[in-house]
Amino acid sequence: MASLSPSLHLPCNSRIGFLGKSQGILLRVIPAGRVGFIRKTVECKESRIGKKPIEVPSNVTLTLEEQFVKAKGPLGELTLNYPAEVKVVKEETGKLRVFKTVETKRANQMHGLFRTLTDNIIVGVSKGFDKRLQLVGVGYRATVEGKDLVMNLGFSHPVRMAVPEGLQVKVEENTRIIVSGYDKSEIGQFAATIKKWRPPEPYKGKGIRYQDEIVRRKEGKAGKKK
């Protein structure tokens, strides 16, 4: 069997391609040092929500300390801590703006999120939020007794829920529940807890639903055809 000429010296870090069946015919020599990866810098787009300015009403007092914001208004006081990827700046016009400190995917996500959270605490302490629920079902009703919400939902006993501090609950026409307050996250959490007791079922639509919620209905089983 033929072998390579002894005068041919190849570097140990080379990649060699051969052609031929009986004899090895040298095609090319590619130094391994030339083989590598091409890195491409991906630029993160700026969030459309994050770049919007935040209006600050005259009845709200803000305290800015590096990555910490405190908003105090007629309805209460809320605070917010920012991650290292974003920062908040107060402009000369009195508006707030949230900026990214680094160009990463996580920073782009935090940009829009913390702009929304900042706006929520300012609107919350100045105007407040509310969440409305509707009771649908025969015999379903709700009342407020002191600091408790009492609901009859078809169980053998009424459901009694203590209203968290800082929230107000109001019942209209025995079937409409209004949860209000200045902390939007607390309102949403308590409303979700109320709904969890009797989620709307898909056949008759009975249960507790949000006022603007659309319940997808299913067709019931048809009887046997004769």
Distance separating alpha carbons of residues 143 and 150, to the nearest angstrom: 5
DSSP 66: T
Q: Which band of pLDDT confidence, cut at 50, 70 and 90, is reported for residue 224?
A: low
What pLDDT is stored for residue 156 in this prediction?
92
φ/ψ bin of 66: left (φ > 0), alpha (ψ from -120 to 50), beta (otherwise): left
For the chain, which residues make up each domain, given as ranges? Answer: 54-127, 129-210
Q: Per-residue pLDDT for 223 more than 80?
A: no
Distance separating alpha carbons of residues 95 and 92, to the nearest angstrom: 7
Which CATH superfamily includes the segment(s) 54-127? Ribosomal protein L6 (3.90.930.12)
Of 133 and 12, the structure prediction assigns the larger pLDDT to 133
Least confident of 3-17, 25-39, 112-126, 206-220: 3-17
State the fold for domain 129-210: Outer Surface Protein A; domain 3 (3.90.930)
pLDDT tens profile 154-187:
999 999 999 999 999 999 999 999 999 999 999 9
Q: Per-residue pLDDT for 2 more than 80?
A: no
pLDDT tens profile 62-113:
999 888 999 999 999 999 999 999 999 988 888 899 999 998 889 988 999 9
What pLDDT is stored for residue 24 in this prediction?
53
Q: Per-residue pLDDT for 38 more than 70?
A: no
pLDDT tens profile 119-136:
999 999 999 999 999 999
CB 78 within 8 A of CB 71: yes
Q: Per-residue pLDDT for 6 more than 80?
A: no
Q: Taking Cα atoms as reference points, which of 206, 205, 209 lies closest to residue 191?
A: 209
CB 114 within 8 A of CB 98: yes
This prediction's pTM: 0.73
Distance separating alpha carbons of residues 189 and 196, to the nearest angstrom: 11
